[in-house]
Chain A
Amino acid sequence: MRGDPAGMRVLQPRTIEEALDAFARRPSAVPLAGGTDFMVAWNAGGENGRVILDLSAITSWKRVRVSGRGLRIGALTTHWQLQHEASVKKHLPLLAEACATIGGRQIQTRGTLGGNIANASPAGDTFPPLAVYDAKVRLRSASGRRTLPFIEVFEGVKKTSLGAGELIESIDVDAPRKPTRQLFRKVGTRAASAISKTVAAGLLWTRPDGAIRELRFALGSMAPTVKRLRAVEAFVAGKKPTGEVVEEAAALLEEDVSPIDDFRSTRFYRLEVSRNLLRAFLK
C-alpha cells in the first residue's frame, strides 16, 4: 500500500438521503462504487488526502428495473450483473457484450455502470453501446433530480458535467426496435483484460429495398469522449450501401473523432481499424 496512510477519510452513508446530504456538505469527496479504477490510483499514492463517499450501502441502486419498453439500470449495478441480466441481454445486447469485455471476472463483479460513467475514461467500453441506445443519465442531489442525454455527461478526459453534490442515480434506456444488424467490437492488444485502442457499437435498420433507414454508430478511445458519428449517420440515411457509399462514409468518419498517438496505439491505426469496422458493418 503506497497511499498515504494518514490521508484518507471514508464517509459511510447508510441511505440515499444520507449520501446526498454528506455529498452536499463535502462536494470534493469522491463517490466510491466498485473502486476498480480509483483504488488502483489510491494504492499508487495518487489520490492522497481525498475524502471518500462509500456507496456500498445503497442497495436500491444495485438493480435493473423494467417498465414497459424501458430499462432503468441502477447506477451501482455491476458489469457482472449486466452481462447476465435477462432484460439487458434481450433488449440491450450490445451493453451486455461490452460489460463482458471489461477486465476479468473479479473486476466485473466490482465495477459498476455508474462508476464507469462517472470515471469518464475516454476508453470506457460501455459508452459506445449506451451512446447508440440513446441512453439518459438520471442525476440526483440533495436539491433534486435532473436527466441528461448520455453523451452530454462527458466534457473531456475524466471530466463530467455533473454538478457539485450530484450522484448518478440510474441509467435509463428505452429498448430500441429490433435492428437489422448490430455490432459491438473492442480492439485491444490482447483478448483478455485489455484497454481499448478503439471500441465500436453500431445499430442499423434497413428498408425492404436494401437502403439504410437509420444508422447509429459510436466509437470510444477515438477522442477525449465517446463520439456518435453524426456525419456518417446523416450521410448514409436513405442510401443503399454500395461500395462507393461505404467508401464515402468511411472517409467521413474523421469528421467526428480525433484519435491520438499514445502508449496504447497510434492515430493511424485507430482510424484505419475504425474505418474497417464501419465498412464491414455497412456492407
Chain B
Amino acid sequence: MKLPVSIAVNGSATSSEVEPRLLLVHYLRDVLGLTGTNVGCDTSQCGSCTVLIDGEAVKSCTVLAVQADGSDITTIEGLAQDGELHPIQQAFWDNHGLQCGFCTPGMILTATEILKKNPRADEHEVRHGLEGNICRCTGYENIVKSIVAAQSAKPAKKRASKKGAA
C-alpha cells in the first residue's frame, strides 16, 4: 500500500506516492534523481548520506521517506546559488578538501549545519561536529582546514556586500 508524501527539497515542493519501506535517501536519489547524496554504509555510521531536514543534519539512509513528510530538505544540489558555489563548497575546492569525493556531500552538509549553529567554530569544534562523518582518503586534515577557511570567508563576503550596498 503506497502512502503519499509531500517534501520540499532544495526549496521546491515535491510529492509522490511511495512504498512505506522507501528510505529517504532512495526517495532523493531514485524518485527525484538527486544522486549527489551517497549511500556509503547503510548502517548510519559513515555519514555520506547526510542531508538537512528542517535545518538539522540527519543520516538519510536510516529515515523513511514517509517520516520526512511535510519537512524541508536540503541536499548538496541545493547549496550553490545562481551558478556560484556555496562558500563551503568553494573552500573545499580551494583547500583540496576532497580526494575521491564520495564522503564530500555529507561532509559539506554537516559543515553547513556546524557553521550555522556556531559561526565561530574553531578547529576543535569542527572536528567534534564531524564525528558522524567518515572519510577514508584525506585523513580529515584538509576537510577541517576547508571548513575553518569557509567560516572566515563568510564575514569577509558580507562586509564586501555591505560596502557595495552603501
Contacts and interface: CB of A to CB of B under 8 A. Distances in A.
B152 to A, nearest CB: 22
Interface string B84-99: 0000000000000000
A32 B62 CA distance: 12
A36 B45 CA distance: 10
Interface residues of B, number: 34
Contact of A36 (B3, B23, B44, B133): B44
Looking at chain A's contact residues, the main secondary structure is: loop
Nearest to B129: A105
Looking at chain B's contact residues, the main secondary structure is: mixed
Given A39-B63, A109-B57, A56 B20 contact: no
A167 B87 CA distance: 44
Contacts, number: 91
Given A9-B20, A10-B20, A192-B131, A40 B64 contact: no
Nearest to B59: A106
A4 to B, nearest CB: 8
Tell which of A10, A44, A52 has the most Cβ of chain B within 10 Å: A10
A226 B48 CA distance: 33
A107 B1 contact: no
B63 A193 contact: no
Given A35-B67, A40-B44, A104-B131, 5 more contacts: A10-B3, A10-B20, A12-B69, A110-B58, A110-B62
Interface of A: 1-3, 5, 7-10, 12, 32, 35-36, 39-40, 43-44, 52, 54, 56, 80, 103-107, 109-110, 192-193
